[in-house]
Amino acid sequence: MRIQLSGLDFQYKVVQQLFRNINLSIPLQRRVVITGDSGSGKTSLVKLISGLLKPDKGQIIFEINGAAQQDIHFGYLFQNPDDQFVHFNIERELAFNLENRGMSSAGMQVKATETLEEIDLIDRKSDSPNSLSGGEKQRLALAGMMITQPDILIMDEPCSFLDIFAQIRLYKKIDMLGKQGVSIIWISQETHEIRMADYVIALDQGQVIYRGNSSEYLKIFRDSDYET
């Protein structure tokens, strides 16, 4: 089970080309961290994988049980949870995600209520997402993605706006989702988050400079951090 990128080219309008002839295999049903310095192409790569961007050349194939799959459902968790929300009502925010999946109104109501109880926001269901703390916003944003049962969850540095307690809560949730078989692609530059990964892909100026397990990556690129 994998995502196969073959001969991938991409550039933003007329600026310098970002990716040229990228060939990359990304395992599914794993926690995959994509890392690299700012501007290395991390966010562009996951947007290409999720279909938010289109390659100029090449193809992306989702291979499951030896066969190419077309109907892949993504959840995309932005770095800033405020970028995730489209409604001024917390309950409606969750229902909106289900509406896009074709669920009935009655079904949406039941599922939204169950989810709000699970993330301890049932008493805030009529409030605006803007009234929530950073950790609560991230919980709501993640719940909005997971409520639709995505095949692949993409997270773009999701802990950037969280305090340590909210981060730990998110890590536990990610661990649970991984055990449930959800494929997770996680952009991060943090050593402790890279250590949590099953597989690491490192980029530098649009080129893949490493692919493999996290412990080997840390030994090669972050030896001093790895030994602490």
Domains of the chain, CATH where assigned: 1-72+152-228 (3.40.50.300), 85-150 (no CATH)
Q: What is the DSSP string of 102-142?
A: T--HHHHHHHHHHHHHHTT-GGGTTS-GGGS-HHHHHHHHH
The conformation of residue 79, written as its DSSP 8-state character, comes to S
Per-residue pLDDT at 6? 95
The first and second tokens of residue 43, run together, are 């966010």
Per-residue pLDDT at 97? 77
- Residue 87 banded pLDDT, cuts 50, 70, 90: confident
Q: What percent of the chain has pLDDT over 90?
A: 42
- Residue 223 banded pLDDT, cuts 50, 70, 90: low
- Residue 72 banded pLDDT, cuts 50, 70, 90: confident
Residue pLDDT, tens place only, 122-153: 999 899 999 998 888 888 888 888 888 888 99
